[in-house]
Chain A
Amino acid sequence: MNSSFERIAQYIKTHCQADDYSLRIFHADSHETRFAQNRVTQHLAGPKLRVNLSVAFDNKTGSASVNQDDPEALARLIQSAEAIARLNQPDPEYIFSAPQAQLPEVQNADPATRDLDPARMVQIVQSMIMKAKAMDATVSGMTEKHFSEWALITKGGFEGYDASTEFGHSMTLKKEEVETKVSYEAKSFAGFEPDAEFETLKAQAASLASKQVMEPEKIAVILRPGALMELLWFMGWMMNRRQSDEGFTPFTDQMGKLFFGENFNLYSTLKRTDIKASPFNSEGIPSREIAWVEKGVINAMPTNRYWAQKQGLEPCDFYNFYIPGGDASEEEMMKLVPRGLIINRFWYIRTVDAKAGELTGMTRDGVLYFEDGKIRHAVNNLRFNEIPHVATRRVLAMGPNRLASSGMSLPSILFDNFNFVDKTNF
């Protein structure tokens, strides 16, 4: 823990009079260069601090946050949280703060990424714009780096600290009617190759040059990791143990049962060093190896400390997503079905029916139609209404894993009969 965090923690330990407290400290420093239509439109930088204190007197709770760390601000913080708790009504679901815990060793921060020179980031942007201009196209996107640290200290004895870095670069190329995007997000800048990213972008754009109108239908799809990631966010959000036990999600009464496709597995893992893994969550639940879904059977769902205690379960939470893939290339996948689509990315996914787990959303940034094992042409964007866990029962093949974001390692997956219901005009 850094000395500034230790000083804040010491002040709270010394001055907080509550029966219980949880102190969360978050600090970040970011630099973000946003570009659009071949010029920089936004460019920002600065530090952020948040000091949050949750307290309890008996089972009456209160919480407050400030973003200054001088003694006056911390005194106000304590006074505010304690005043709320004293005035509050008892919370029947209050439990004492997290106890001391053994936390896993993780390495989420890369000093070189933290120290990356903003001038270098602008140089990357400049170079991408030059390349786009050279092909009479425009490019829009963002280059960003973040260094963040956070700590949780509780009256119950929990002390945890984690530092992490992140480098991101995304860009959308537009040339005439073609729009397509690539994005890179990792805890380290080291693996980022801007020229290679642009070549991928250029190749994607070239593949989309010839487009035909396609009507919506149920059809096989290869979801690239960027598209799969978007579905997973929403499906993961529904995988909540308490909400499921109380009857609000599709996973009600499905624990321990085969509910996903038999070749579908979903993990959070500390073993893969390429994916970020926070060692604990905001409640003080330590991260551990978890098979959420294994061979299609639901083994666990995120469970908070209260519900775990009430139901006699082990509390747990998502801290990253890992779906182990296979070895099928896109070319091989295309040969497994007579015809289908390759989806680069989804957009604006929303829940249609929370109990059924049904989602809607649009394709974005390039849809390719293939037939007889070969890409034939691009098609217009389509709308889907689909239930992701049901779709996993129609998985036909998986490709190798790729980093979809700093916290997700996912494969491309070939699904049969993906349910498209509408189309748009581009």
Chain B
Amino acid sequence: MRYLDLAIGEALNLGAEYADIRIQRTTDEVVLLRNLSLKNTSRDVLHGYGIRVFKDGAWGFAHHHVFTEEAVLATTRRAYEIAALSASVNQNHKLRLAPERSYLASYKTPLKIDPFEVPLSEKVELMMEVNRVMLGYEGIRQAMFYLISHKDEKLFASTLGTRLELNTQWIDPMVIASAVHAGDSQSRTFDEGGRATGWEWVTELNLQEKARQIAEEALIKVKADTLGPEERRSLILDPNHLGLTMHESVGHPTELDRVLGWEADYAGISFATPEKLKNYRYGSEIVNFVGDNTLDQGLATLGFDDDGVPGQKWHIIKDGILNEYGSTRDTALEIGLEHSRGCNRATYYFDQPINRIPNLYMLPGTQPLTPSQLIADTEDGVYIQGRGSFSIDQHRVNFQFGGDFFWEIKNGKLARPLKKVIYKSCNPEFWNSCDAICDERWWRPFGVVNCGKGQPSQTARMTHGSAPARFRNIRVGGSQ
């Protein structure tokens, strides 16, 4: 704690209006197995501190990995000097920080079995077994298993008087089977995108059974037909697939920094501008999106963000209408919000926090509806499972998505498997075409642990979720 006090004291002595220090140790354990060959078995630690100083309407941020009083003081001074340089530019256009109270708190990801305490030999044996299951199928040329365990241990202090101890972690097993047949190659992936929980989740997944399923589906897929020319069809999207669709077409456009144009040079801006708040029909009336950084096992459930703002839950889209954004202390006041929604997050100690997507999910339908009933109610369409190709313009309007596994639906039945299916749509057409969402029994969370944004680039994590949903009259066809 002495380094926290030292940095905060020095920042105040220098004349900072606000300052914080985040001491962060990040540990990653990675095991990558390909065709029974261990391509990577590693444990990586990054330990250091980042100090932010706010002065005259501008930020300065400096970081270091040397833990001495001298280094902490010098880094604080560097942050202050950088803030002063920034302020010389912002004289007539100052940043402002939304008010926030102080907190003395701690948070720890709830888990039963710490993945870092599970012997490596147990993990590798499981991975080998899963690899062997897939390679047991003739035609499977590549069996991959990628397992990452991640933890962040943070101490945070700010000039508001806040002192936080935050210990969060997540785990992500990903299994891929790739088949080669008649000059083509197709893969099928099991990947729930990571969860903030312990090793108990991995054991519950029954990955040997999942390996059998994806190996068989990879072989079906590589021999499957393509869809042919693009036509307007119905789409039924599973929760895993929808996780990525909502990430790109709802999550990013409702980050307030993009809305304000702060990502104009790199990650892009947003069509969902402030004059549309509370009146813009983003989706049909059954479409409700919630930002929720309190979600159980959510990857962005961290207790507090890197502004020292607690996790919250709020409607981003309510009954189809754009309701609010994900915001930070330095973006909230720009559009007259009274406080931040707690979405400022940094990846490593050396990253300055930026506005990030919260855990964001679509609420399930309110009427009883199963996926089987939804398929039975669809005459001509495509059912897409899992994530594939994804691309969206820099205003977050036009997009094209693929998937991981596809079934053609004819007259209420799964008619034949397909490969190389893509669909094209745009905001707000896509979410307004949503006419049915399965009920809460079918709601599933899916994580994203590699959300790239910012300069210098950072990768953030968050959880999405939904029940299977149907979208009408979408342009669906085969790739070239």
Give the interface of A toward B (CB within 8 A): 30, 32-50, 52, 54, 61-68, 80, 84-85, 87-89, 91-93, 118-119, 122, 125-126, 129, 138, 140-142, 144, 170-172, 174, 179, 181, 246-248, 347-356, 358, 360-362, 364, 381, 383, 385, 387, 419, 421-426
Contacts and interface: CB of A to CB of B under 8 A. Distances in A.
Q: 10 closest A-B pairs (Cβ-Cβ)?
A: A424-B398, A46-B63, A63-B42, A140-B264, A65-B44, A40-B86, A247-B180, A44-B61, A36-B262, A93-B37
A27 to B, nearest CB: 10
A422 B424 contact: yes
8 contacts: A40-B86, A44-B63, A88-B121, A88-B124, A352-B480, A419-B480, A422-B424, A425-B397
Given A48-B350, A61-B38, 18 more contacts: A36-B263, A42-B455, A43-B61, A44-B61, A63-B41, A67-B47, A68-B66, A85-B41, A87-B119, A88-B41, A122-B88, A174-B264, A246-B180, A247-B141, A248-B141, A350-B389, A360-B422, A424-B398
Contact of B83 (A43, A356, A425): A43
Contacts of B60: 43-44
B75 interface: yes
Interface of B: 36-48, 50, 58-66, 75, 78, 82-83, 85-86, 88-90, 93-95, 119-121, 124-125, 128, 141-142, 178, 180, 184-186, 257, 260-266, 268, 330, 350, 352, 354, 389-395, 397-398, 400, 402, 420, 422, 424, 426, 455-456, 479-480
Contacts of B184: 355
A42 B59 contact: yes
Contacts of A138: 261, 264
A44 B62 contact: yes
B37 A91 contact: yes
Nearest to A179: B264
B46 A67 contact: yes
Given A44-B82, A88-B124, A360-B389, A39 B93 contact: yes
A348 B264 contact: no
A217 to B, nearest CB: 14
Given A41-B59, A91-B37, A360-B400, A47 B455 contact: no
Given A36-B264, A138-B261, A383-B400, A358 B38 contact: no
Nearest to A421: B424
A65 B128 CA distance: 24
B261 A36 contact: yes
B264 A356 contact: no
Contact of A43 (B44, B58, B330, B392): B58
Contacts of A40: 58-59, 86, 89-90
Contacts of B260: 36-37
A46 B62 contact: yes
B422 A171 contact: no
Contact of B391 (A46, A48, A360): A360
Task: Name the residue among B94, B264, B456 with the largest chain A CB count within 10 angstroms.
Answer: B264
Contacts of A93: 37, 39
A171 B88 CA distance: 19
Contacts of B128: 89
A347 B393 contact: yes
Nearest to B178: A248
Contact of B397 (A50, A65, A426): A426
B90 A248 contact: no
B398 A423 contact: yes
A142 B266 contact: yes
A43 to B, nearest CB: 5
Nearest to A30: B456
B135 to A, nearest CB: 13
B261 A140 contact: yes
B41 A424 contact: no
Nearest to A146: B456
B391 A361 contact: yes
A157 to B, nearest CB: 23
A422 B400 CA distance: 9
What's the dominant secondary structure at chain B's contact region? mixed
Contacts of B456: 30, 32, 44, 144
Nearest to A171: B265
B394 A362 contact: yes
B480 A358 contact: yes
A354 B264 contact: no
B41 A45 contact: no
A347 B263 CA distance: 14
A42 B265 CA distance: 13
B82 A45 contact: yes
Nearest to B122: A87
Given A43-B83, A45-B82, A174-B264, A122 B392 contact: no
Given A39-B93, A67-B48, A248 B58 contact: no
A422 B125 CA distance: 47
Contacts of B263: 36, 140
A104 to B, nearest CB: 28
B428 to A, nearest CB: 11
B391 A181 contact: no
A350 B388 CA distance: 10
Nearest to B119: A87
Contact of B395 (A129, A142, A426): A426
B392 A37 contact: no
Given A37-B262, A42-B352, A385-B479, A425 B426 contact: yes
A383 B262 contact: no
A62 B397 CA distance: 45
Contacts of B178: 248
A92 B66 CA distance: 39
A151 to B, nearest CB: 18
B40 A362 contact: no
A75 to B, nearest CB: 13
Contact of B93 (A34, A38, A364, A421): A38
B116 to A, nearest CB: 12
B426 A424 contact: yes
Contacts of A181: 265
Contacts of B48: 67
A220 B17 CA distance: 56
Given A47-B64, A49-B65, A421-B424, A89 B90 contact: no
B479 A84 contact: no
Contacts of B394: 347-348, 362, 364
B42 A65 contact: yes
Contacts of B142: 246, 248
B338 to A, nearest CB: 21
A416 B408 CA distance: 35
A351 B480 CA distance: 12
Nearest to B353: A42
A43 B82 contact: yes
Nearest to B78: A45
A383 B58 CA distance: 38
Contacts of B330: 41
Nearest to B187: A354
Nearest to A68: B65
A91 B141 CA distance: 18
B479 A353 contact: yes
B397 A424 contact: yes
Given A89-B128, A347-B394, A424-B426, A354 B185 contact: yes
Contacts of A171: 265
B43 A80 contact: yes
A43 B41 contact: no
Task: Name the residue among A34, A42, A63 with the largest chain B CB count within 10 angstroms.
Answer: A42
Given A32-B455, A362-B398, A66 B45 contact: yes
Contacts of A383: 391, 393, 398, 400, 424
